[in-house]
Amino acid sequence: MKRRVFSLVLAGWCVWAAGAAPGKQPVFGYAYGIDDFPNGLRLVTVPTEHKNLVALYIVVRAGSRNEVEPGKTGYAHFFEHLMFRGSQHYTAAERDAVLKRAGAESNAYTSDDRTVYHEVFAKEDLDSVMRIEADRFERLKFSRDVFKTESLAVLGEYNKNSADPQVKMFEVMRELAFKNHTYAHTTMGFIKDIEDFPNQYDYSLKFFDRYYRPENATIIMVGDVTRERAAELTRRYFLDWRRGKFKASIPVEPPQTGPRQSRLDWPSPTLPLVFVAFRAPAFSEKRKDKAALDLLAAHAFGENSELHQKLVLKEQKVDELDVAFDNHIDPELFGVIARAKDVKDLDYVQTQVLATIARFGKEMIPPEQLDQTRSRLRYGFALSLDTPGAIAGALAEYVALGRSPETLNRAYDLYEKIRPEDILAAAKRYLVESNRNIVTVVAKPGKEAK
For residues 138-165, give the mean pLDDT: 96
For residues 80-102, give the mean pLDDT: 96
Q: What is the DSSP letter of 65?
A: G
Mean pLDDT of the chain, nearest integer: 93
**364-404 confidence digits (pLDDT tens):** 999 999 999 999 999 999 999 999 999 999 999 999 999 99
Best CA proximity match to 325, nearest among 337, 310, 343, 308: 337
pLDDT, residue 90, reads 96
Best CA proximity match to 328, nearest among 220, 258, 427, 402: 402
Residue 41, classed as helix, strand or coil, is coil
Residue 21 has pLDDT above 90, yes or no: no
Residue 2 has pLDDT above 80, yes or no: no
Dist CA 69 CA 210 (whole Å): 13
Percent above pLDDT 70 for the chain:
94
pLDDT, residue 43, reads 98
Identify whether the C-beta of residue 252 lies closer than 8 Å to the C-beta of residue 181: yes
Residue 219, classed as helix, strand or coil, is strand
Residue 193 has pLDDT above 90, yes or no: yes
Give me the domains of the chain, ranges plus CATH numbers: 3-238 (3.30.830.10), 260-443 (3.30.830.10)
Q: Report how far Cα 324 is from the mean position of its chain's Cα atoms.
A: 12
Helix then strand then coil, % of the chain, to nearest 5: 45, 20, 35
| pTM of structure | 0.92
Residue 15 has pLDDT above 60, yes or no: no
pLDDT, residue 447, reads 66
Dist CA 436 CA 336 (whole Å): 11
Angle at 74 between CA 339 and CA 212, to 5 degrees: 125
Rg of the chain over CA atoms, in angstroms? 23
Question: How many CA atoms lie less than 13 Å away from 415 in the CB half-sphere?
Answer: 24
Residue 313, classed as helix, strand or coil, is helix
**329-347 confidence digits (pLDDT tens):** 999 999 999 999 999 999 9
Residue 11, classed as helix, strand or coil, is coil
Q: Report how far Cα 48 is from the mean position of its chain's Cα atoms.
A: 24
Residue 6 has pLDDT above 70, yes or no: no
For residues 418-436, give the mean pLDDT: 98
Identify whether the C-beta of residue 412 lies closer than 8 Å to the C-beta of residue 27: yes
The H-or-E segment that residue 120 falls in is: strand 115-122
